[in-house]
Structures are given as C-alpha cells and as structure tokens.
Amino acid sequence: MENTFALEIMERLTSLFPNVSSELNSINNYTFLIAVLLSAQTKDQSVNAITEKLFKIASTPEQMLELGLDNLKSYIKTIGLYNNKAKNIIALSKLLVEQYNSEIPLDRKVLESLPGIGRKSANVVLNNICNAPYIAVDTHVARVSKRLGLTNNTNVIKIEQDLYKVIPSKYHNTASDLLVMHGRYTCTARKPNCSKCILNDICRFKSNL
C-alpha cells in the first residue's frame, strides 16, 4: 500500500468534511468522556438525546455521584447496556474525584484503566480533547478502511496499526472522524451509496461489486 493512495482518500474526505469532529454533544472534558462511554454500541444521535437533559444536572463527577446510580439509570434507560454503563459512570466518577482531583487524566494508559473506557474510547477522547494523533477504530472505521483497501485485517488493534502505517501522520488526528463520517453517511453497512461517493473512482470495494 502506497501512502499516496491513503493521502488521496484523506484529502478528498477532508474536502467534504473540512471541520470534522465527533458528533457527540458535550460541555466540558468530563461530559465528553461520559458521552463516549455511553456511545458504545449506540448511535451518537441516541446518546445526544439523553445527554441533553443529563448534562444539565450532572456535568461534573461530583454532580454525577450526587445524582446516584438509580437516578442516572432513569436518564439513560433508553439506550443499550444502560445498566452496565450506569455502573461504570458512577465508578469512573468516584475514581476521578478520589484520585485525579476531578480532572480527566489525559494519558491513554490511564484512561484505558477507567471503568467502561477501552482503547478505542481512550483514543476518541484524546483525539478530540487534545487533538492527539490517535486513530480510534470503531465499526465504521473498520468497515470503511477494509472496503477501501487500507487494511485486510479484522482485529481492531491490527486495523489500527495498519492505518497508522498507511495514513500520512498529518491526518492521524482526523482520520477516525473522517472515516466515521464517511461510513455513517455514504459508505453505510447495508447499502453503500457508491454512486454519490467522493471516492467512487478509486474505491476497491466498488470495483468488486
């Protein structure tokens, strides 16, 4: 794989989404972390619908702990895995208060150690809060990067490693969001809109249809 191919993809997607960023709504670093946790196996729109009310009363770890587990569940019960997510949010908030002065630790290993925050979520947080050069591999990124021929792997860690190798470093901080947006609105899972795709002429997936 030549970097020129990946560069062309990034340039075209950037032209389509020049100010790309996460579509999760938040009002500070803590609420963004919570939104990312809630977004696991859940659409961003569904998360935004519940956090619009939740973050008005709980936008800090202390306020979340004051809200309590049962009340938190009542706010997020419309999304999948809400019981487990609620428990993780309370445990995470307690750790932030007790060990990190209620601040979000901007270190990937530390973030990964927090309840409900894995490697992908940690990458998303650092990518958006710090503009860090991390590529987060979710279902959209995995699907689109494989269709485009940027990777042949199915393991998310290997996909991430492949993308770091082929995507020019200046795009590492935006690559995830660009591929997510493309996967969400054009290169969809069931019925990709190839006829209106900005990558139509260079896509390896379309050539195999």
Choosing from 43, 77, 120, 201, which is the catalytic residue? 120
Q: Could you read off the pLDDT of 102-113 as tens digits, one per residue?
A: 999 999 999 999
pLDDT of amino acid 42: 93
Are 50 and 105 in a shared domain? yes
Judge whether 120 counts as a catalytic residue.
Answer: yes
Are 120 and 183 in a shared domain? no
Of 130, 158, 183, which one is at a domain's C-terminal end?
130
Are 50 and 120 in a shared domain? yes
Looking at residue 12, which CATH number applies to its domain?
Answer: 1.10.1670.10
Are 117 and 168 in a shared domain? no
Task: Give the mean model confidence (pLDDT) for residues 192-201.
Answer: 93
pLDDT of amino acid 206: 63
Are 141 and 124 in a shared domain? no
Are 39 and 126 in a shared domain? yes
Of 100, 130, 160, which one is at a domain's C-terminal end?
130
Q: Could you read off the pLDDT of 129-138 as tens digits, one per residue?
A: 999 999 999 9
**What number of CA atoms fall less than 13 Å from residue 44's CA on the CB side?**
15
Decide: 204 and 163 in contact? Cβ < 8 Å.
Answer: no
pLDDT of amino acid 208: 53
Task: Give the mean model confidence (pLDDT) for residues 150-159.
Answer: 95
Number of domains in the chain: 2
Judge whether 138 counts as a catalytic residue.
Answer: yes
Are 61 and 110 in a shared domain? yes
Are 145 and 171 in a shared domain? yes
Choosing from 85, 138, 162, 177, which is the catalytic residue? 138
180, pLDDT greater than 60: yes
Percent of the chain clearing pLDDT 70 (strictly above):
97
Task: Give the mean model confidence (pLDDT) for residues 162-179.
Answer: 96
209, pLDDT greater than 60: no
77, pLDDT greater than 60: yes
- Quickly list DSSP for the chain: --HHHHHHHHHHHHHHSTT-------SSHHHHHHHHHHTTTS-HHHHHHHHHHHHHH--SHHHHHHH-HHHHHHHHTTSTTHHHHHHHHHHHHHHHHHHSTTPPP--HHHHHTSTT--HHHHHHHHHHHH--------HHHHHHHHHHTS----SHHHHHHHHHHHS-GGGTTTHHHHHHHHHHHTS-SSS--GGG-TTTTT-HHHHT-
CA distance 139 to 146: 11
Give the domain range for residue 122.
Answer: 29-130
pTM above 0.85, yes or no: yes
pLDDT band at 193 (very low <50, low <70, confident <90, very high): very high
Q: Could you read off the pLDDT of 15-28 as tens digits, one per residue?
A: 999 999 999 999 99
Task: Give the mean model confidence (pLDDT) for residues 74-82.
Answer: 96
Are 39 and 101 in a shared domain? yes
Of 71, 96, 130, which one is at a domain's C-terminal end?
130
Are 105 and 165 in a shared domain? no
Looking at residue 58, which CATH number applies to its domain?
Answer: 1.10.340.30
Are 152 and 171 in a shared domain? yes
Task: Give the mean model confidence (pLDDT) for residues 31-37.
Answer: 98
Are 33 and 15 in a shared domain? no
Kindly report the average pLDDT of the chain as a whole number.
94
